Structure 1
Amino acid sequence: MLSPKALPFFLGPLAAATQLPLPRTIHQFPNPTWLENIASTRNGTLLTGVLGATAALHLIDPFASDSAPVDSLLYDFPSANSVFGISELSPNIFAVATGNYSTTSGATEGTSSLWTVGLNSLEKEDGTPAVRKVVDLKDTSLVNGIAALNKDTVLVADSLAGTILGVSVKTGEYHVLHDDISLAPNLTASPAIGVNGLKYLAPNLYFTSTRLGAFRVRVDPDTGAAVGPYVKLASLEVPDDLAVTDDGTVFVARPLGDVVEKVGVDGDVTVIAGGAGEEVVRGATAVTLGRTWRDRGVVYVCTMGGFAEDGSFVEGGKIVAVSMD
């Protein structure tokens, strides 16, 4: 849990970035540590979660001074060993998906849950977040990426089932909203998952298909149901999570390619980090965009450390800041 001495992480003024060179490693965890997702908060700190070891949600300060802590454990979710999707429901209130997952044997079906984590409560003396379980998603196979549609509804990717669910934050009720061929897994492939990352930027829901690439679909802003066709934006090899700018530019992490790619509104795909022997984003799993004047134009990347030939992890997962361009 967040210790009182870590309160300045969330509450204190962040130091100016002063055009620090990019790419830049913000923080690296011990080997092995698989970081699965990342989200920016409104004051510039970052939320990231661990997969396959402990369902730990960490708070990272990308602007910490040399004498200040960069990383603090915010919360460790019970009855799970992995944190998957993270998405902001309303100011400083985040939806978080958890479950049980093994990097060798895959997901334990029926173990996924959806939670809310409130950061405003960090102002209290004990410095603990306000955490509430919304629902156990017992009828799901592998809850992965999530996207807040509004303050009351979260869209949830079930990657093995190849569907997207709508979950009511108020009641915990959920049902399938999207069941399209673009979401389906290829069960003979490795990894054998379909729909992966989700991001909602009205009026479109953007998503990655692990076997096909990046897509978008226009959705109803109240229900999240499709009101238009599923449009393929680009073919990508084993994409993971994604981030989207206001103009529809998409940034995608590709863990097996050790790269972050940008998909322009014209469908043109370019590498913005990694590739050509570079190891800066080895095992990139997710991306998020800087939200303050200090980090305008920055894409934050979390990684799982990359695989060696024997299947071990090359390094511990890390948080890296790279340029959008």
Structure 2
Amino acid sequence: MRLYSFVKALSFLPLVPAAVISAQQYPITVLHEFPNPTWLDSSAVRHNGDVLITSATTNQIFLVRPRNPKVAITVARIPNANGANGIAELEKDVFYINGANFSVATGPVLGSYGVWKLDFRGTSPKLSLVTMLPDVQIANGIARMHPTNNTHVLISDSWGGSIIRVNVVTGEYTTVMKMDLMLTQPGMDIGVSVLRTRGSYLFFNQWGVSLQRIPFSTTTGEATGSPETIVSLMAHSYILSNDGTKAWMSSNSLNALQEIDIVNRRWRTVVQNQTDFITPTGAALGRKDGKDVVYIVTGGGYNFATGQSVSGGKLVRVDVA
């Protein structure tokens, strides 16, 4: 979740790691602009190339077709929630989403978080509750454990400094990782955020601080070793390349997208200070016709304390090849 922290984010100075390589601007295309104000939070891409988008300012789940992006279709509304965070596909056309109620004054409402299943396999999308998470403070990032595991997802608790494993069939959940590194870091409002898995590694970002990875059991979700820092930078959301050698990281307080060389632990800024790239948030890889594309959603500069925004959130295509 980026929304709670954005109130302070613009005052942060960026970290300056040594392993920075020269910048290159990648071309961007705005596919769709949502009404002002709309803060878009996370995204995922269906097998047919359609982009699913969550929002921190509405309980609607949107679908945009990149080939015909003029219309954003509402495919579901999360009951008893005013926003949603992470979204991940567990099996073909079956997605899982975190949704909750949020207050600007106090942050997320404890006990309001739930995990929801969005199933596109029928004649129309079907939304159903998997489980409520009454003791989770901020259910944020969500990821599958392994490509062959259709039963469990991992979810980050950004205030609790932990990762939980959820059985999407039974609704049972348990904490599988908890460490100081995942807690809120000095000067930030949340800790562990977006989760991705690649082989026997779980990747996570410390919000606004760094990209990390840790070896883990793809059976239990528990750590099997110590975390290691990939890069230190203003890390808000990211997506891994298909081969796992790169990542693209959004830095919403810098209006920037960084390309990370995971193998050599270096990064470069590939999009920054674009008029149409204000507060980039969630990142997703293109599929089908968009395999050399990263889709970024934005918050439009929305300020949750004042309700003011520069523009509506946008779905932006970044050509990375």
TM-score bucket of the superposed structures, by smaller chain: 0.7 to 0.9
Secondary structure of 1:227's partner? Answer: coil
Secondary structure of 1:228's partner? coil
SS in structure 2 opposite 1:60?
A: strand
CA distances 1:60-108 after superposition (whole Å, capped 9, x unpaired):
101117xxx5310000110111111100010110111111123554211
Query: Residue in 2 aligned with 1:7?
Result: none
C-alpha change, 1:279 and 1:103, in structure 2 (3 Å) is farther
Shift of 1:313: 1.4
TM-score, normalising length: structure 2:
0.86
Matched, 1:189 2:190: no
Q: Determine if contact 2:193/2:204 at 8 Å carries over to the other structure.
A: yes
2:138 to 137, 142, 163: 142
2:296 aligns with 301
Aligned to 1:110: 111
Q: Identify which of 255, 258, 262 aligns with 1:261.
A: 258
Matches within 5 A, 1:65-144: 69-103=70-104, 105-121=106-122, 124=123, 128-144=124-140
Task: For residue 181 of structure 2, give the secondary structure of its aligned residue in structure 1.
Answer: helix
Question: Alignment identity in percent?
Answer: 28
Deviations 1:274-320 (A, max 9, x none): 2xx3223211011001111x212111000111157x95211110100
Contact 1:185/1:211 (8 A) holds in 2: no
Are 1:146 and 1:156, in contact at CA under 8 Å, matched by a contact in 2? Answer: yes
Instruction: Tell me the residue number matched to 1:281.
Output: 277
- Rounded to whole Å, the distance in 1 between the matches of 2:251 and 2:225 is 27
* Shift in Å, 1:199: 1.0
1:252 to 249, 259, 278: 249
Give the secondary structure class of the aligned counterpart of 1:193. Answer: coil
CA distance in 1 between partners of 2:88 and 2:50 (Å): 14
Alignment of 1:181-260 (within 5 A): 181-186=180-185, 189-190=187-188, 192-237=189-234, 239-245=235-241, 246-260=243-257
Cα distance, 1:189 vs structure 2: 2.9
Aligned-partner Cα distance in 2 for 1:100–1:120: 28
CA distance in 2, matches of 1:300, 1:185: 27
Letter in 2 for 1:92: D
Q: CA deviation at 1:181?
A: 2.2
- Identify which of 48, 59, 62 aligns with 2:63: 59
CA contact (8 A) 2:208 2:236 kept: no
Aligned to 2:14: none
Which residue of 1 is the match for residue 16 of structure 2?
Answer: none
The answer to whether the Cα contact below 8 Å between 1:182 and 1:212 also exists between their aligned partners in 2 is no
Contact 2:163 2:178 in 1 (8 A): yes
Q: Across the two proteins, how many residue pairs are aligned to each other?
A: 290
* Moved segments of 4+, more than 6 Å: none
Gaps of at least 5 residues in structure 1 are 1-20
What residue identity is the alignment partner of 1:204? Y
Q: Which amino acid aligns with 1:268?
A: R
SS in 2 for 1:182: helix
Give the Cα–Cα distance (whole angstroms) in 2 for the partners of residues 279 and 201 of structure 1.
Answer: 33
Cα distance in 2 for residues equivalent to 1:78 and 1:182: 33
Structure-1 separation of matches of 2:144 and 2:201 = 12
Tell me, yes or no, if structure 1 residue 271 matches structure 2 residue 269: yes
- How large is the Cα RMSD of the aligned pairs? 1.9
Q: Deviations over 1:124-178 (max 9, x none)?
A: 2xxx312221100001101111101131001001101111111111111111111
| Residues 199 and 206 in structure 1, CA contact (< 8 A), matched pair in contact too | yes
CA distance in 1 between partners of 2:302 and 2:268 (Å): 23
Task: Determine if contact 1:257/1:283 at 8 Å carries over to the other structure.
Answer: yes
Q: Tell me which residue corresponds to 1:11.
A: none
